[in-house]
Structure 1
C-alpha cells in the first residue's frame, strides 16, 4: 500500500523525495568528455544520458525495463459537449488496449516496453466541475494511490498515458488555474471539436476555474481533474521516490504532472518531456514547467504515444553513452 492516505501525506513524500545521485552524474559527465567524438557532437543526447545516469545512480547505465502505464477515467463535464466523441468511447478504447489494437500497443512493442492498462471507475464519472469539485479529496487520493501502486519498482524508465473522453477540458482547466491566462488560451480542439465545440470548451474551462480558484496543485487536481489524471500524477510521484526517470507525454499528462510541480517545486526533476503535442497549449504548458520536448511530430493522440516513441531516443542516448569506447580504449588520439 502507498505510504500516504491523504494529500498531506503525499506532500510530505514529495518533499522528502531523493535527488539524483550527484556522484553518478559527475562520473557520467566525466565519461562523456572521454568518448570517441568531438565535444557536444551528440547534442542533447549527451545531456539526456547524464541526466538518466544520475537518476539511476550508475555512471554507465542501461535501459532494460521500460514500463508504460495507461490510465482511463470518465468525466462528468463531458456531458456539456466538450468532446467530439461520446463518453462510451473510453471503455471501448480500454478494450482495444487490452486486445492489443491501439497505437500505444504497437509503440510499446517496438520500444520493448511492458504495457499495463488501468480503468478507474468508468461507470462512475467525476462530477461536472462547473457545478462543484470533480472529486473529493478521498476520491482523488484513491486514484493517486492506484497510480502509485501501478509502478513496477524494478522498471528503469516510465511513461504514463491516458484515455478519457473530456480530459483535454480537464487538463485545460488545470493549466489555466495553475498558470493563469484566459480559458481560450488553454482550451484546444482535443478530439477534433468544431468552432462551436471549442467555444463551449472555453466557457466550461472558464466557469470551472472561476469556481475553484486557489489551492495548491493537489487541491486543483481534485477540483478540476479526473481519476486518470490523478493516477498519472500518483505514478509520476512514485517514480520520483524510486528514482525512476519519467518521460512525460502530451498536454494531459503534462497537466497532471504540473499538479505535482505546483505542490513541490522539485517534483519533476526526474522527468523529461517526450514530445510537443499538436494540442495548441502544450508548448505553453511545457514552457511553464521548463521542459524542452525531445520530439515534435504533430502528434495529439494521447495514450502515452508521444512519450512511448521518445523511449527510443532515451535508449539511444544511454546506449551511446554507455557503449561507446573512450579515446584511450579505442587507441584514438583525443587532440
Structure 2
C-alpha cells in the first residue's frame, strides 16, 4: 500500500501537501554545527555542505547516508505525436526501454558508476495518451492510476531516489506543462528535444498554444489531465510517496523537472525534499528552475533525459556525505582554530 492507493480524486492528492512530513530542523542544525567544526574554513566546501545538511534534515540524522540509491525511469507515449512534433516514431520508446533493460543506455553506465540500482517502468506504451491540442490528454482516473504506479515503483529499501523518463514526444509535453504552470509564450519553453530543427520547434510552439487555449482553466494537478503524459504523472506519484517516506529525491533535467510543475503549482512544498541533478541544455530548463527556486547540482550541457544528469549528481551527493561524515573535527585532529 502507498499513500496514493486509496485516493479517488486529484483534489485529495493535492490536499496531501498539508499532511506530509517536513525536514527535521534539529537534524539540520546538528549537521550544520558538525560542518562548522570540521577541519576546513567555514563554508569552504560550498554546496557540498548544503547537500549534506539537506540529507540530514530528511533522514533526521546528523550523519546521513545515501543508503540504497534507486533510479527509476518511467516511459510513456503521447498522442501529441500525431501532430508531427517529433522526428522519430513512437516505436523508439519501446526500443529504448529494451535498451535500458539490456544495459545498453547511458543511464545504465551512469548508475553503475554512481552506485545506483536501476528500474525501468513502461506505462502502457501501446496506448498513448490523447492529443492535448484536441482534448484532454488523460482522464482523472488515468492520471491517478499512473500516479499510483509511480508511487508503487519505489522499493521498500530505497534510501535515495533518482527519477528520470523516456518517451518520444515528451519534450513537447514538458514545454506545455511548464508554460501552463508558469506562463509566458510557448516559444519561451520549447527546445530541440530529440533533434527538432527550427521548423519543428515552431510546430511545437503552435500546438502548445492550441492546447493552452483549450485547457486555459486547468490548474494544479489538473494540468496532468490536460497535457499528460503517463510518465509525468508517475514521476509526480513517486515524488509524493518519497516525501511520505522521507526519501530525498534527485530529479533529472528539463522533462523530469517539468513533470513536477503541476505539483509545484498545487503547492510548492510538495518539492521540498527534491533537488535537481543538473541544468539541461534545453533552453526552457533554466527558466523553469528559476521559477521553482531550484539550483541544479551540475551544469554539463546535457539534454539526454533517462535520469542521466540525476545519476551523475548522485556521485556529487556521495562525495558531500563522505566529507561530512569522514572528515575530522578540529578537536579530533588537534588542529588549532576550531
Both proteins in one fold, TM over 0.5: yes
Verify the 8 A CA contact 1:143 1:230 in the aligned structure 2.
Answer: yes
Q: Distance in 1 between matches of 2:291 and 2:155?
A: 29
Structure-2 residue corresponding to 1:51:
54
Verify the 8 A CA contact 1:153 1:242 in the aligned structure 2.
Answer: no
Structure-2 residue corresponding to 1:165:
168
- Match among 220, 223, 226 for residue 223 of structure 1: 226
Structure-1 residue corresponding to 2:256:
253
Structure-2 residue corresponding to 1:40:
43
How many residue pairs get aligned? The number is 335
- Match among 257, 273, 278 for residue 276 of structure 2: 273
Displacement of 1:10 after TM fit? Answer: 1.4
Q: Distance in 1 between matches of 2:32 and 2:86?
A: 47
Q: Distance in 1 between matches of 2:16 and 2:334?
A: 48
Q: Does 1:232 align with 2:235?
A: yes
Displacement of 1:42 after TM fit? Answer: 0.4
Verify the 8 A CA contact 2:76 2:93 in the aligned structure 1.
Answer: yes
Structure-1 residue corresponding to 2:318:
315
Q: Distance in 2 between matches of 1:95 and 1:19?
A: 38
Q: Distance in 1 between matches of 2:73 and 2:33?
A: 37
TM-score (norm 1): 0.98
Q: Distance in 2 between matches of 1:265 and 1:272?
A: 13
Q: Which runs of 4+ in 1 moved over 3 A?
A: none
**3-state SS, counterpart of residue 74 of structure 2:** strand
**3-state SS, counterpart of residue 156 of structure 1:** strand
- Could you list the runs of 5+ residues in structure 1 that have no partner in the other structure? none
Q: 3-12 or 166-175, which moves further after superposition? A: 3-12
Q: Does 1:140 align with 2:140?
A: no
Q: Does 1:176 align with 2:188?
A: no
Q: Does 1:327 align with 2:304?
A: no
Displacement of 1:213 after TM fit? Answer: 1.2
Q: Does 1:61 align with 2:55?
A: no
Q: Does 1:211 align with 2:196?
A: no
Q: Distance in 2 between matches of 1:175 and 1:57?
A: 33
Displacement of 1:11 after TM fit? Answer: 1.6
**3-state SS, counterpart of residue 266 of structure 1:** helix
Q: Distance in 1 between matches of 2:209 and 2:263?
A: 22
Verify the 8 A CA contact 2:161 2:247 in the aligned structure 1.
Answer: yes
**3-state SS, counterpart of residue 174 of structure 1:** helix
Q: CA RMSD in A?
A: 1.0
**3-state SS, counterpart of residue 267 of structure 1:** helix
Structure-2 residue corresponding to 1:128:
131
Can you list the C-alpha shifts for 1:262-285, whole angstroms capped at 9, x where unaligned?
112211111111101001110000
